[in-house]
């Protein structure tokens, strides 16, 4: 077991106690992460090898912002790693991040994938795509707008409408079309559901294989995770049953969400935190990260893994993610207003 792996395991179970020492070493950086430790370990191990800076990771599955707020000026965290534009903006709005000025980061992260105030930066992106039955639907062009078309009545599966992945998509629809259009779209979408929203993205692929529905919404990276899941080989069958369709590929582009990073407001090691963030934004790190999590690098020209490339070419929506985030509350309210989670 590497030193990083041992630290990660300890912190994942021991929590903040592992950061309790009152003195902070100058050659370390402390990370709070919403991403599973094994997904970021290869990145951090490479960073340690190249810089000699020790990385300490605390994995959290919820309450990251609240924890940092409670820790206040004594918080040990330097860098926040998370997924979803909502969680990044939640950290900024919660006052637990600080602006970062770095020519290196700005050169590697396109403007649409970073906060205008420099308080968060994307590292990888994932498409919110349509999983389609290979046998009953096949490889066809499709749009998000089309999900409300009666031709799909009784054919669509989806997870909870209030899940952050779906809220981000609905928020993007508001940004493109306005709230009135999106409300009617949600009503049509709801009428086309095969069942009440439930399960996770992988469960939607399973439902397609079983014939419960013909299409579903899911993130691209789950397909890669299913295709390589040796512990639960039945998931490989779920992945084999579906084709990945990229909605709106021929017009505005497919909605994408992100994983990202931010520097903590009271980072005790701002210099090493910046070094880590600049490393994570680099082409080398983006490709390592994207390979590990089956996502797309945000750096133009950086390559996704062979598995991700096998899904086909993605044409990402160019809408700045800050505009999507601005409509998240409205999107959540619309989900409740149309009673989306009640099903058809």
> Could you identify the residue written with the tokens 């040990």?
76
222 is annotated as contributing to ligand binding: yes
Give the list of residues 6+ apart from residue 333 with CB closer than 8 angstroms, or none: none
**Which pLDDT score is estimated for 23?**
44
**Which pLDDT score is estimated for 313?**
87
The 10 Å Cβ neighbour count of residue 299 is 22
Domains of the chain as residue ranges with CATH = 3-124+257-303 (3.40.190.10), 126-254+313-342 (3.40.190.10)
**Which pLDDT score is estimated for 301?**
83
**Which pLDDT score is estimated for 26?**
65
**Which pLDDT score is estimated for 25?**
56
Structure tokens that stand for 23 in this block: 């003195």
Residues 57-68: tens digit of each pLDDT: 999 988 999 999
What does pTM read for this prediction? 0.86
Q: How far apart are the C-alpha atoms of 269 and 297, rounded to whole Å? A: 27
144 is annotated as contributing to ligand binding: no
**Which pLDDT score is estimated for 18?**
43
Torsion of CA 79, 80, 81, 85, to 10 degrees: -140
Helices (H), the chain: 3-14, 37-51, 64-71, 85-93, 103-108, 164-177, 179-191, 201-210, 220-227, 234-240, 270-281, 283-293, 306-309, 321-325, 328-337
**Which pLDDT score is estimated for 314?**
92
Contact in structure between 58 and 30 (CB atoms under 8 Å): yes
Residues of the chain with pLDDT under 70: 1-26
Structure tokens that stand for 96 in this block: 């637990």
């Amino acid at each position: 077991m590497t030193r990083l792996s041992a630290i990660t395991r300890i912190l994942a179970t021991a929590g903040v106690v592992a950061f309790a020492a009152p003195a902070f070493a100058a050659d370390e950086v402390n990370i709070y992460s919403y991403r599973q430790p094994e997904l970021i370990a290869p990145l951090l191990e490479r960073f340690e090898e190249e810089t000699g800076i020790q990385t300490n990771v605390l994995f959290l599955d919820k309450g990251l912002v609240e924890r940092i707020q409670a820790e206040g000026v004594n918080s040990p965290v330097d860098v926040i790693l998370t997924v979803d534009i909502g969680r990044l903006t939640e950290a900024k709005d919660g006052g637990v991040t600080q602006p970062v000025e770095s020519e290196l980061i700005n050169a590697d992260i396109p403007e649409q994938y970073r906060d205008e105030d420099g308080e968060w930066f994307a590292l990888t992106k994932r498409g919110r795509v349509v999983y389609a039955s290979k046998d009953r639907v096949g490889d066809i062009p499709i749009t998000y707008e089309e999900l409300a078309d009666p031709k799909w009545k009784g054919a669509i599966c989806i997870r909870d409408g209030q899940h952050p992945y779906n809220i981000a998509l609905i928020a993007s629809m508001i940004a493109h079309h306005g709230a009135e259009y999106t409300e009617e779209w949600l009503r049509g979408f709801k009428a086309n559901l095969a069942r009440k929203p439930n399960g996770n993205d992988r469960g939607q692929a399973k439902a397609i294989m079983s014939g419960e529905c013909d299409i579903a919404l899911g993130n691209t990276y789950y397909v890669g995770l299913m295709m390589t899941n040796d512990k639960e080989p039945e998931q490989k069958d779920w992945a084999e049953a579906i084709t990945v369709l990229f909605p709106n590929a021929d017009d505005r582009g497919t909605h994408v969400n992100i994983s990202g990073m931010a520097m903590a407001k009271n980072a005790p090691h701002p210099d090493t935190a910046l070094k880590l963030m600049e490393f994570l934004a680099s082409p080398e790190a983006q490709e390592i990260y994207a390979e590990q999590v089956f996502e797309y690098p945000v750096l133009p020209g950086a390559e996704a893994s062979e598995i991700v490339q096998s899904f086909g070419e993605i044409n990402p929506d160019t809408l700045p993610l800050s505009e999507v985030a601005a409509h998240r509350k409205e999107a959540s309210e619309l989900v409740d207003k149309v009673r989306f989670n009640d099903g058809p």
